[in-house]
Amino acid sequence: MIQIKSRNILCLQAIVLICMIIFTTSSCRVDYKDPIPDVSEIEVELTFIHFDEQVRKEFEKEETDWEALMEKHPSFSSLYFEHILDIWSPGEPLDSLEVRMDYFLSSPYYIMISDTVAEAFPNMDFFEDDMEQAFAFFKYYFPYKSLPVIYYFVAEFTYGNVIFEHESGADGLGVGLDMFLHGYFDYSVMSPFNTVFSGYNTRTFNRDHMAKKAFDAIWNDLLGPSPHGQLIDVMLYYGKIHHLNKLVFPHTPDTVIFEYTHEQMEWVTANEYNIYNHLVENDLLYSIDMNKFSRLVNPSPHSPGMPPEAPGRVVNWLAYKMVRAWISNNPNKTLEDLIDLTDGHEFLLQSRYRPGRY
């Protein structure tokens, strides 16, 4: 009888253990993604302006009229000539602009870049379709926000995306096409001292990342500049951006959203606990020393203090997982509540984050 009872207890213990394993495994596999809303009834009409083409057409005329171009597109013309190219200011005569633009547009370097852009982008249908779909989701989450007028430009690798105040009172978005030529242009010939053109960055300078990078600029404008404080404050900022991108690009692969290779994506997913543990053990979460965590949040070939397989900006991915925890554990909070939240410590407390659960 004693032996039989012992077997029953052992069987019961085994059943409980199996149930616990099943529960734990299934709880780790819960999909915490937001449901994809139906945006089929949301109408989006975006205006795309090929400013680069209009500049070239003006240059090809027998008598150029830069003043007419500036009157047609006052806000972006001002931005383009004064700041992006830094070639002219309103206090100078238009003759000066004409001479400098003639020199700029007739240079072999510009002609090479312009020809490469034309080869890489025979049309912009792919980008415009992506942006219209993304802005349908944008309007779903932000129904009262206006849509930007989008300008294409070429400026010899100065800017990828710029947000500016458009003349209609709405925002404008500039897209530098020459910053998306990976596969058509060898960015390694650029200044070796400018890390913007390092391989870990230029790998994503392509059409697959164009729409996502455009929205990065939109989110930067919405959220304001990145905070300078504790690492957890900075993480919250970038976690929000990843979350917002996931909302407007629900069908886009994570490799694009987080700008990781497939191998890097697999590594961070498999090492979530180790990443978080590294921050805790090294007292980094509440550190205000940017020298200690700069490469954990900014573009870099890898994250210092971690295995060589760890990609740069690894804590920004972890921050997204924390945002997922915050959403899951605060069902009464809204997207606006998340956007307004800037205290990283309070965010971490409210999230009740545990690695591997979200």
3-state SS, one letter per residue, for 159-203:
CCEEEEECCCCCEEEEEEHHHCCECCECHHHCCCCCHHHCHHHHC
Do 126 and 199 fall into the same domain? yes
Do 151 and 260 fall into the same domain? no
The residue out of 222, 248, 275 marking a domain boundary is 222
Residue 1 lies in a domain: no
pTM as predicted: 0.88
Q: Which residues contact 274 (CB under 8 A, 6 or more apart)?
A: 306
What are the helix (H) ranges across 282-340?
290-297, 314-329, 335-340
Do 94 and 148 fall into the same domain? yes
DSSP state for residue 341 in the 8-state scheme: -
173 — phi, psi (to 5°)? Answer: -130, 120
pLDDT of residue 27 exceeding 60: no
Do 198 and 231 fall into the same domain? no
Do 85 and 211 fall into the same domain? yes
Residue 215 lies in a domain: yes
The residue out of 195, 222, 249 marking a domain boundary is 222
CA distances from residue 61 to 73, 76, 102, 142 in whole angstroms, order as listed: 18, 21, 11, 43
What are the helix (H) ranges across 249-313?
254-257, 262-270, 272-281, 290-297
pLDDT of residue 50 exceeding 60: yes
Q: What is the pLDDT of residues 116-142, one digit of tens each?
A: 999 999 999 999 999 999 999 999 999
Strand partners, 149: 172
Most confident option among 10-14, 59-63, 100-104: 100-104
Residue 174 lies in a domain: yes
Q: Percent of the chain having pLDDT more than 70? A: 91
Do 250 and 119 fall into the same domain? no
Give the structural domain span for 280. 225-351
Strand partners, 163: 173
> What are 131's two structure tokens?
């942006």
Distance between CA atoms of 20 and 147, rounded to whole angstroms?
A: 50
What pLDDT is stored for residue 13 in this prediction?
Answer: 38
Four-CA torsion 330, 335, 339, 341, nearest 10 degrees = -20
Query: Could you give the number of structural domains in the chain?
Result: 2
Instruction: Identify the burial level of 18 via C-beta atoms within 10 angstroms of its C-beta, where 0-12 means exposed, 13-18 middle and 19 or more buried.
Output: exposed
What pLDDT is stored for residue 291 in this prediction?
Answer: 87
What pLDDT is stored for residue 21 in this prediction?
Answer: 35
Q: What is the pLDDT of residues 192-229, one digit of tens each?
A: 788 899 999 999 999 999 999 999 999 999 999 999 88
Do 107 and 87 fall into the same domain? yes
Do 260 and 307 fall into the same domain? yes
The residue out of 207, 222, 237 marking a domain boundary is 222
Q: Could you tell me the maximum CA-CA distance found in the chain, to the nearest angstrom?
A: 108
